[in-house]
Structure 1
């Protein structure tokens, strides 16, 4: 612990490979296209984070434009974690079909979800359901986006670059969520307090203001859909599952079966402690940041100021994470 060096047991792999199934490749090569693969994956992860955190930073505007309640905003944020429910299926898909098929499926979920959110239906009740469905589909892309970083780095990068590639691929989704704190409040105006009136305990804004807010939110939704669609097309046209030759021995080694790996990990106390240490702070930060504007509104913090607070808090973690990886 602390400054002491790690013990021999701590340096052992969590799931030791079977000696008889390992493959010693004669040749290995690192390809320059690995940076393109990492860029495509990171761009898709960046947009998944932005789409997930679309509504939290502009919750005041959304409540006026679409008659959302605070519960609606909280549920829209919750669809991201809910999308992790079938995580075993997505991990199995990555293990059996590779990165290309897994990422294409996740990108497909994202583009359909972004399209559903952008449908300009005049009926507010139907519009609300479309937005919720779009957020859920974007959440279903989360298991692959958030967990494929180590597989991508092992498949494409040399051992001395693997930690950095893993950090970039894993943290860029959080960076997207951070940027949504800036994009949303800067593009979507907050309701003007001087044009509100209390009627039957509901806040009513002028029609002109509400129409302007709806138009700006629609612009954000269209822009996010356009970027996600372009990234889906890019992944469809070019995103190989693996390079022609492995970059290292680890990339070429035969992996354990899916069922055997899961059983051995779930029975490994060290793995469970590492997973718990990662999951608890990640869940707290994600849950808190998704409704940050809602939390700070009673303290009279503006939508823009809350956005900057959220942006810098997440960016600080991303920068520190990449620095630790280096």
Structure 2
């Protein structure tokens, strides 16, 4: 990338939705996409000048404001995850305070979020293209505030159940931008050598929300001698009040400052107009390599994501109850939030080796889940350290693949909008998560099936990943500025 002191004058025409494009004609963007599909491996200088009009010099600049955007969106992602997984880590307390609740009720508070994401992800993509990032993020924060406020109204059944489910639905609507937005924000605000790290930070913050969830037993007591259901209900309501207050403060911060994009693009590709949503969907449907990546991502990542909120149910047969399971969940969340950032920083220095690293991470994750499967079925003697290492290792390695998948998919799909690419990937893992959580509704099915699903999904998803042809289109364009 050119440094700020080595800028070249820019020649570009202003357009309503961006900085001004190197090529604002839809036909030319489509032609660029077509040429990329034909070449399958990148550009030479002649291709760039002819198809993207990159003979026109482009000024690139990074601003400190990108770190504020990263911070605010990361906090929003963190809070969204806490709200998504409010009741799973305190399932024993919730079931004691509200006798009509059980595993299926807790699972549905999580499942409603994934269902609503699948319903509203397409309207979100259209809205963000027409209204911009700022408007959509404000709406998402306002929806979270509304949902968390509603479930603070009463503890009386069945109204508490209804309002909790309604809150979960609203969290699902808000999560469309929160889960699909990181790639778009990284593309709009960060240069090539920071994009994967930025995505990893935002994704890691979302996962870090599990820390807030798994610390809930410190505030809400476990049922036992001398602890009444009324006392537990009061503690649960205090927890819900804290959630509502936090969303209100965050909404105010976003209203104060959260622009859609910086004054100047941070990279060449940030200044190029993407395909419109209709053309982008058509392009992705015809792109078999992107479809293979999406399949691998959904199958590999969906079940572990859904497992986190109901992890307690898999640990209980091994003798780990709510208080002890809290520390396993907390360890898993911490490591799977921080390690992807470290690994993402490494990948920002080795842009064209993402698939090799993905296969490596997925293989190790599968090995850890298989280890936990053997422990669950008593094939090998159980010990505390083995449970910790297998669960924490499997989830951490699996979550480390997420930012790599997002960036790899954006490379293959370019010039399809990053928000559309991310939305489809996230819809894939939400669909698989919904199917996974729905199995909990089957009476008497138990929990040992979970470890089998985790092992099969994380291992067999390597197959479609290896079949895809990888082309680092976006990276080659940005490196042309060096």
**Under a length normalisation based on structure 2, what TM-score does the superposition of the two structures give?**
0.59
Measured in 2, the distance between the counterparts of 1:62 and 1:12 equals 55
Measured in 1, the distance between the counterparts of 2:57 and 2:249 equals 37
Instruction: Report whether the alignment pairs 1:125 with 2:158.
Output: yes
Unaligned runs of 5+ in 1: 1-7, 196-207
2:134 corresponds in structure 1 to: 100
* Aligned ranges 1:222-301 → 2 under 5 Å: 222-301=241-320
Post-superposition offset of 1:25: 5.7
Unaligned runs of 5+ in 2: 1-37, 346-482
Measured in 1, the distance between the counterparts of 2:56 and 2:311 equals 50
- Is contact 1:83–1:141 with CA below 8 Å preserved after alignment? no
1:191 corresponds in structure 2 to: 223
Match of 1:77 among 95, 103, 110: 110
1:48 corresponds in structure 2 to: 80
Match of 2:200 among 164, 167, 170: 167
CA RMSD of aligned residues (A): 2.3
1:212 and 1:11, CA in 2 relative to 1: closer, same or farther beyond 3 A?
Answer: farther
* Aligned ranges 1:211-230 → 2 under 5 Å: 211-230=230-249
Post-superposition offset of 1:190: 0.7
Measured in 2, the distance between the counterparts of 1:321 and 1:278 equals 16
Measured in 2, the distance between the counterparts of 1:165 and 1:88 equals 24
> Which structure is higher in RCO with an 8 Å CA cutoff and minimum separation 6?
1
Deviation string, structure 1 residues 47-66 (Cα, Å, up to 9, x no partner): 00011011000011001112
Q: Secondary structure at the match of 1:141?
A: helix
Post-superposition offset of 1:324: 2.0
Measured in 2, the distance between the counterparts of 1:295 and 1:100 equals 40
2:174 corresponds in structure 1 to: 141
1:35 corresponds in structure 2 to: 67
Measured in 2, the distance between the counterparts of 1:103 and 1:23 equals 35
Match of 1:114 among 138, 144, 148: 148
**Alignment length, in residue pairs?**
302
Post-superposition offset of 1:12: 4.5
Measured in 1, the distance between the counterparts of 2:137 and 2:57 equals 27
